[in-house]
Amino acid sequence: MDRAIHERIRMWRVYRGLTQAQVAAAFRPSRSEVWVRKLEAGERQADPRISVLEELARILDVSLARLLSDDAPTGVQPAESEDDPALLRAVLLAPHRPTATVAEPTHILRQAAWGFDAFQSGHYITLLRAMPGLVKSARALPHTPEGDRAAYRVHHLAATVLMKYGGGAAAWHAADRAIDFARASGDPIAVALAGQITAYTLMSIGEPATGLETVELLIEELARPLSALDGDGYTALGMLWLKGAVAAAEIGDARTAQAMLAHAATAAEHVPLGANRWRTGYDALNVRLHIASIEHQLGRYGDAARTAESIPSAVLASLPRERRAHHRIEYAQALVALNRTNDALSALLAAEADSPQEVHTRPTALALITKLLAQHVGQPPSKLSDLAARSGLARP
């Protein structure tokens, strides 16, 4: 059966891995997300004008003839489907139904370890597609210390990967379940690490003050037992301090943010550089990266850029790909705020070299590329056009 034009538009958008907001922003001039939503629902225009279709063909990187035909996309796998994070959210929020098949906790822990490695390597798409099944398996684990520890780790991973997609209620729910499982396991390190991701997810649902309070309560509870656990304990404690600093900056509390960063720096003295304990990447360098990020949060763009530029390239090269690319995107944001657009583009290209998926599919990076494109009235620089094309925002 032939598809209506609005159905074909949505089919190609999903295939390209674009959100409705990204398509709206790529129009010249930009449209609203509501406009795109209504267009795809067939409410805006049952028979869109040819100029609109030509613009859509450009954005979706497909010939106008193919967009107008009933030819489905084949041959090349999409970079990502918007349904991938949606499926994980659905599994996390759905009621749990007991299953007859129960995996071994050690097997689930190995899969979670693979997942954190995939995350730090920037392989979000593969990870997203594996997560729904992993969450279901984790929920079927027996309530033993080993089973609860494995279930904690999986839910922590689920919250972490969803934060790359804007977080939201499902990410917070996963983190909250992670704390429950961590407490049941009796492991204070797991409780602290679950607490820091919970604080992070609370920020994504507009509750940074609650995130800060969560960190403060956990530090009061866990500081002493964690300090007795050497590098692993200080890693968990330091991560709590860092997320507390981010939450404080989110509500504009610079004094608390700076105090928590100082505590995180002190904790990092007990952790070797590059230790990457519990796949957190926590060490003195990670503290410096957070200093730059928090300066940007507080609107101190010049300080943020100077802090980022004070970190030698050779030192950055030691970071996991995800963390390195994430940092460079935040640096690019500060550079755009300082009107250093050429430097911002260079930072984005460096981030792309580190982790293509971090730039091509993450909302923060795509919004930044769109902003750079909007600053050029005429033809944008070829490197920017090419980057936008690789990210599905425009054709070369």
Packing angle of the helix pair 208-227, 230-250 (nearest 10 deg): 160
Reported as a single tens digit per residue, the pLDDT across 147-189 is 999 999 999 999 999 998 888 899 999 999 999 999 999 999 9
197 or 42, greater pLDDT: 197
Reported as a single tens digit per residue, the pLDDT across 340-375 is 999 999 999 999 999 998 998 888 898 899 999 888
The residue-averaged pLDDT of 37-45 equals: 73
Q: What is the pLDDT of residue 2?
A: 45
Tell me which residue range forms the domain holding 387. 299-396
61 or 207, greater pLDDT: 207
User: Hey, what are 384's tokens?
Assistant: 């920017």
198, 199, 204, 207: CA torsion to nearest 10: 120
Residues 205, 247: Cα–Cα separation, whole Å: 12
Reported as a single tens digit per residue, the pLDDT across 239-269 is 999 999 999 999 999 999 999 999 999 999 9
Q: What is the pLDDT of residue 342?
A: 93
pLDDT at 79 over 50: no
By the 8 A CB rule, do 289 and 307 touch?
no
pLDDT at 28 over 60: yes
Boundary of a domain, candidates 19, 46, 68: 68
Is residue 124 included in any domain, yes or no?
Answer: no
pLDDT at 78 over 80: no
Is residue 193 included in any domain, yes or no?
Answer: no
118 or 81, greater pLDDT: 118
Is residue 395 included in any domain, yes or no?
Answer: yes
Is residue 275 included in any domain, yes or no?
Answer: no
Angle 280-84-73 from CA coordinates, rounded to 5°: 135
Local confidence band at 72 (pLDDT 50, 70, 90 cut-offs): low
CATH number where 30 lies: 1.10.260.40
Boundary of a domain, candidates 68, 86, 111: 68
In the 3-class helix/strand/coil scheme, how is the chain assigned residue by residue? CCCCHHHHHHHHHHHHCCCHHHHHHHCCCCCCHHHHHHHHCCCCCCCCCHHHHHHHHHHHCCCHHHHHCCCCCCCCCCCCCCHHHHHHHHHHHCCCCCCCCCCCHHHHHHHHHHHHHHHHCCCHHHHHHHHHHHHHHHHCCCCCHHHHHHHHHHHHHHHHHHHCCCCCHHHHHHHHHHHHHHHHHCCHHHHHHHHHHHHHHHHHCCCHHHHHHHHHHHHHHHHHHHHCCHHHHHHHHHHHHHHHHHHHHHCCCHHHHHHHHHHHHHHHCCCCCCCCHHHCCCCHHHHHHHHHHHHHHCCCHHHHHHHHHCCCHHHHCCCCHHHHHHHHHHHHHHHHHCCCHHHHHHHHHHHHHHCHHHHHCCHHHHHHHHHHHHCCCCCCCHHHHHHHHHCCCCCC
User: Hey, what are 240's tokens?
Assistant: 């709590």
Residues 103, 118: Cα–Cα separation, whole Å: 21
Sign, CA dihedral 282-285-286-290, equals positive
Q: What is the pLDDT of residue 394?
A: 56
Is residue 171 included in any domain, yes or no?
Answer: no
User: Hey, what are 42's tokens?
Assistant: 């067939």
Q: What is the pLDDT of residue 73?
A: 56
pLDDT at 1 over 50: no
Packing angle of the helix pair 124-139, 83-93 (nearest 10 deg): 20
Reported as a single tens digit per residue, the pLDDT across 187-224 is 999 999 999 999 999 999 999 999 999 999 999 999 99
Select from 201, 188, 180 the least CA-distant residue to 138: 180
Which of 1-5, 274-278, 330-334, 337-341 is least confident? Answer: 1-5
Angle 289-293-295 from CA coordinates, rounded to 5°: 115
Q: What is the pLDDT of residue 17?
A: 66
Is residue 47 included in any domain, yes or no?
Answer: yes
By the 8 A CB rule, do 244 and 273 touch?
no
Q: What is the pLDDT of residue 76?
A: 37
Which of 95-109, 235-249, 293-307 is least confident? Answer: 95-109
Local confidence band at 332 (pLDDT 50, 70, 90 cut-offs): very high
Number of domains in the chain: 2
353 or 46, greater pLDDT: 353
The residue-averaged pLDDT of 225-244 equals: 96
Select from 49, 44, 39 the least CA-distant residue to 7: 39
Q: What is the pLDDT of residue 97?
A: 65
Q: What is the pLDDT of residue 86?
A: 82
By the 8 A CB rule, do 302 and 338 touch?
yes
Q: In this prediction, what percent of the chain has a pLDDT beyond 90?
A: 57
**Sole residue written with tokens 């004008």:** 49
By the 8 A CB rule, do 237 and 223 touch?
yes
pLDDT at 47 over 80: no
Q: What is the pLDDT of residue 25?
A: 80
The pLDDT mean for the chain works out to 88
Which of 26-30, 104-108, 292-296, 326-330 is least confident? Answer: 26-30
Select from 49, 146, 160 the least CA-distant residue to 104: 146
Q: What is the pLDDT of residue 43?
A: 67
Boundary of a domain, candidates 49, 68, 87: 68
pLDDT at 99 over 80: no
Local confidence band at 236 (pLDDT 50, 70, 90 cut-offs): very high
The residue-averaged pLDDT of 281-306 equals: 95
Is residue 93 included in any domain, yes or no?
Answer: no
User: Hey, what are 124's tokens?
Assistant: 């979000």
pLDDT at 46 over 70: no
